[in-house]
Amino acid sequence: MSKLDHLIDNKVVQNIVVWIFIFLIGMVSIRSDNVVLSAFLGVIFLAVPVYIHNLKILPLFFTNRKWLGLFLFVLNIAVFTCVGLYFLSDALDHFEWRMVYNMIGILVLVLFVSSALKVAGDSFTRRQQEKDAELKLLKAQLNPHFLFNTLNNLYGLSVVKSDKLPNLMLKLSDLLRYSLYETKETYVPLEKEITYLENYMSLEKIRLEDTIDIQFEISGDLSSKKIAPMLLLVFVENAFKHLSVSKDKKSKVIVSLHEENNKLIFKCDNTIDTTGLNLDNIEKGKSGIGLQNVKKRLAIMYPEKHQLTINNSANEYRVLLTLALHV
């Protein structure tokens, strides 16, 4: 998150901006010999009942003590109407009943507007917290999912005492270092994510040797761009997980990343063996996470900024993802 985003989300800054706006309205609307002082005193006067209402009274309306909230709401208006009239009538050297109606109207209007802003702000904050919590859960699910599949592969090689095992372990170490320590941010440099994919595909290449055709193509300006961490891994992982192995025809996994106008075009093609294979399992993954996890993350982090197309033919499974990159 940028410094500007932090500044915008800061509640103290939000409150200061609102009161500056009210102060400027007072400067324009108040008629007085000293407009600046009158507008400033007006802001101070309104701030006290507003914060009493927002912090102490408004929360009661969301509990079973609504009648108490209503009583305190009326009491708050009555008290500060009297206080305002005392200073206002003293300043104007006379009292009129219309001043009472005007004062009550101003206080009711200000309290209702402040309530609406408070409820809207709290609702937005709550939704953001829910999204952050869901993202953390999805990322927590993703890492064990990847680790589980990789360890299964390593176990298979250890059983046959393969010479490829030491190199695979080193590659796995690099992958885990990245996934554990460098993916805590909401967005990571795209170049690091690409290096991560390269390491993963190198690991699979060592494991499978020359039995399949593995290609990884990159084009466009990928520097200074950012992406959600480990977003593309599941597609590549699924490509290897459901890869067909045929003696007659060489299997393939082709992954390409192309940047154009701050958009990433990601393609992942792999051959599959449809014999006895339920294609829904490719969508879900053995543990029920798989692509469903990625779709949820895309919906949360790239709303209306991505397009995911998945097609499967008789022998091929194709993924095309287009999304707007963060700069």
Q: Are residues 26 and 175 in the same domain?
A: no
pLDDT at residue 294 greater than cutoff 90:
no
Give me the pLDDT at residue 284, please: 45
Q: Which residue type sits at 247?
A: K
Tell me, yes or no, whether 58 lies in a domain.
yes
Amino acid sitting at position 142: L
Q: HEC profile for 270-323?
A: EECCCCCCCHHHHHHCCCCCHHHHHHHHHHHHCCCCEEEEEEECCCEEEEEEEE
Residue 63: inside a domain? yes
d(CA 182, CA 228): 11
Alpha carbon distance 181, 232 (integer Å): 18
CA dist 169 and 174 (Å) reads 9
Task: Indicate whether 140 belongs to any domain.
Answer: no
Cross-strand bridge partners of residue 321: 266, 308
End-to-end CA distance of the chain: 12
Of 111-125, 127-141, 214-228, minimum mean pLDDT range: 127-141
Interstrand relation of 263-271 and 251-260 (parallel, antiparallel or unpaired): antiparallel
Domain CATH number, residue 314: 3.30.565.10
Do 169 and 314 lie in one domain? The reply is yes
**Of 179, 239, 220, 247, nearest in space to 322 by CA:** 220
Confirm whether 147 is domain-assigned.
no
Average pLDDT, stretch 50-59? 88
Question: Whole-structure pTM over 0.95, yes or no?
Answer: no
Regarding whether 184 and 233 lie in a shared domain, the answer is yes
Rounded CA gap, 65 and 63, in Å? 5
Q: Confirm whether 83 is domain-assigned.
A: yes
Q: Are residues 192 and 307 in the same domain?
A: yes
Of the residues 76, 109, 125, the one at which a domain ends: 125
Q: Which of 13, 91, 97, 95 is nearest to 45 (CA)?
A: 91
| Domain stops at, among 125, 151, 178 | 125
Assess if residue 317 is contained within a domain: yes
Please tell me whether residues 225 and 284 are part of one structural domain. Answer: yes
Q: Which residues contact 24 (CB under 8 A, 6 or more apart)?
A: 39
Over residues 138-197, the pLDDT tens digits come to 555 555 656 676 677 677 777 767 777 777 777 777 777 777 776 777 788 899 889 888
How would you classify the pairing of strands 306-312 and 251-260? unpaired
As for how many domains the chain has, the answer is 2
pLDDT of residue 268: 94
Looking at the domain assignment, is residue 151 inside a domain? Answer: no
User: Are 209 and 105 part of one and the same domain?
Assistant: no
More confident residue, 278 or 112: 112
**b/e sequence 84-120, b meaning 16+ C-beta within 10 Å:** bbeeeeeeeeeeeeebeeebbebbeebbeebbeebee
pLDDT (0 to 100) of residue 93: 61
Whether 191 and 86 share a structural domain: no
In whole numbers, what is the pLDDT of the chain averaged over residues?
Answer: 78
Is there a domain that residue 158 lies in? Answer: no
DSSP state of 325: P
Please check whether residues 168 and 306 belong to one and the same domain.
Answer: yes
- Tell me: do 319 and 172 sit in the same domain: yes
Domain span at 108: 3-125
Same domain, 40 and 180: no
Q: Per DSSP, which regions of the chain are E strands?
A: 188-189, 212-219, 226-227, 251-260, 263-271, 306-312, 316-324
Read off the pLDDT of residues 199-232 as tens digits, 9 standing for 90 and up: 888 877 876 766 788 899 999 888 888 888 888 8
- Residues 294, 169 share a domain: yes
Is the pLDDT assigned to residue 257 strictly greater than 90?
A: yes
170 shares its domain with 119 = no
